[in-house]
Amino acid sequence: MSVTQDRVDQLLGGVPRSLREIVTPEGVALHVELAEHGERAAAFAIDLAIWLGVAFFSWLVVFAFVVETRAIGIVVTLVLFIGFFVRNLYFIYFELAWQGSTPGKRINRLRVIDRAGGPLTPGAVIARNLTREVEVFLPLGIVLTAGAGGLADAVLGLWLLLLAAMPLFNRDRMRGGDFIAGTIVIALPKRLLLADLAEQSARYVFTNAQLAAYGAFELQVLEELLRKPRNYETTQALDGVCDRICKKIGWTGAVPKARAVEFLTEFYTAERAYLEREQLYGRARADKNATPG
């Protein structure tokens, strides 16, 4: 998997996302965005809350039922029993039924996927969730019951905490269960298809020499700028960009401020037509510093 970050996002100060590539069985590489630590923690907190809620409710029912028959010994046992069952079945059930997401993950738009791009198998789901018992609940239990323990307990606790903090120490943010199951957790936002910026006809005509000033990167930065909702700030930015482009390509005519957006849209169209044509002829150009071909 290649480690990349989107250059355009980086330049424009978007949320920097770590991108990874998976290859589908059809042989097409798809980009996936790794989930952030915070998102995963939030998803887990929601799941934990749901687990506690369900378990607590079942405990109440059991308690009401058993208090009638006055067998307190059984209550304690049942409480542990139900807690254990709900906890383990909850994650496995949802990740199987909801294609790799649980309620918490769904709210945060996260998914568990196979790292290599294969199907997510039930075995993988079970493996990554069984390990959770050791990775999360065991350290949690030890930390919660700690206190009177000696040095050995402290060392054990520290060691288990390190195990729980594993996603912080590897670049794919995998926890132990992800390693064992061969999975990663990704963020899956919904992207919308916006209208094509390219115009059908043009008032401004540019020469090939002018269009050769830029590459695909600059084109896409321009596209992002043009797609931003217009307000004072973006209009200022567009005016600045317009001046810079005019200077760079040696545009002799003046472009009035009111026409800046129109000019830029047409320049975008012409530039894209030019670069796409060049790319088709095998002379793709990544950015203005790259030599074509």
Partner 1 sequence: MSLSEASGRLVAEEEPRPVVTLRSSEFRRGREQGWRDLEALVAKAEQRGIGALGVGELQRLPQLYRAALSSLSVARSIALDRNLLQYLDNLSLRAFLMVYGPRQSLAEGARDFVARGFPAAVRAARIEILLAFLAILAGTLAGFLLTIGDEAWLTALIPDSMASGRGVHSTRQELLDDEIFAPWPGFARSFVVFANFLFQHNTIIGIMTFGLGIAAGAPTILLLAYQGLVFGAFIGLHYDRGLTLDFLGWVSMHGVTEFGAIILCGAGGLVVARSILFPGRFSRVENLAANGQMAARLAVGAVAMFFIAGILEGGLRQLVANTDARLSISALTMILWGCYFCFAGRGARR
Residue among 45 and 133 whose Cβ is closer to partner 1: 133
Report 163-192 residues binding partner 1 (CB under 8 A).
Answer: 163, 176, 179-182, 188-192
> DSSP states of 137-162 as a string?
IHHHHHHHH-SS--HHHHHHHHHHHH
Q: How far is the CB of 129 from partner 1 (least distance, A)?
A: 9
Residues 117-146 that bind partner 1 (CB under 8 A): 118-127, 130-131, 133-135, 138
Joined tokens for residue 241: 């960009």
- Name which of 203 and 231 has its Cβ closer to partner 1: 203
Q: Which of residues 54-93 bind partner 1 (CB under 8 A)?
A: 71, 73-74, 77-78, 80-81, 84, 92-93
Smallest separation (angstroms) from partner 1 to the CB of 60: 18
Residue among 232 and 254 whose Cβ is closer to partner 1: 254
Q: Is 269 in the site for partner 1 (CB under 8 A)?
A: yes
Smallest separation (angstroms) from partner 1 to the CB of 13: 16
How many whole angstroms separate alpha carbon 124 and alpha carbon 113? 10
Q: Please, what is the minimum distance in Å from the beta carbon of residue 90 to partner 1?
A: 12
In the complex, minimum distance from the CB of residue 40 to partner 1, in angstroms, rounded to a whole number: 18
Instruction: Give the x/- contact pattern for partner 1 in 203-242, rule: CB under 8 A.
Output: xxxxxxxx-----x--xx--xx--x---------------
Does residue 243 bind partner 1 (CB under 8 A)? no
Query: Considering beta carbons, is residue 16 or 122 the nearer one to partner 1?
Result: 122
* Residue 209 · residue 279 · CB < 8 Å: no
Backbone angles phi, psi at 249, to 5 degrees: -90, 0
Interacting positions 146-165 with partner 1 (CB under 8 A): 163
Amino acid letter, 123? G
Task: Please provide the DSSP assignment of 216-268 as one string.
Answer: HHHHHHHHHHHHSPP-HHHHHHHHHHHHHHHHHHT--S---GGGHHHHHHHHH
**Nearest alpha-carbon partner for 223 in 232, 231, 213, 214:** 214
CA-to-CA distance for 63 and 44, rounded, in angstroms? 28
Per-residue exposure over 66-105, b if at least 16 CB sit within 10 Å of its own CB, e if not: beeeeeeeeeeebbeebbeebbbebbbebbeeeebbbebb
Q: Compute the distance between CA of residue 14 and CA of residue 224 in angstroms, rounded to an integer.
A: 11
Nearer to partner 1, 27 or 232 (CB): 27
Q: Which of 46, 202, 212, 225 binds partner 1 (CB under 8 A)?
A: 202
Nearer to partner 1, 41 or 176 (CB): 176
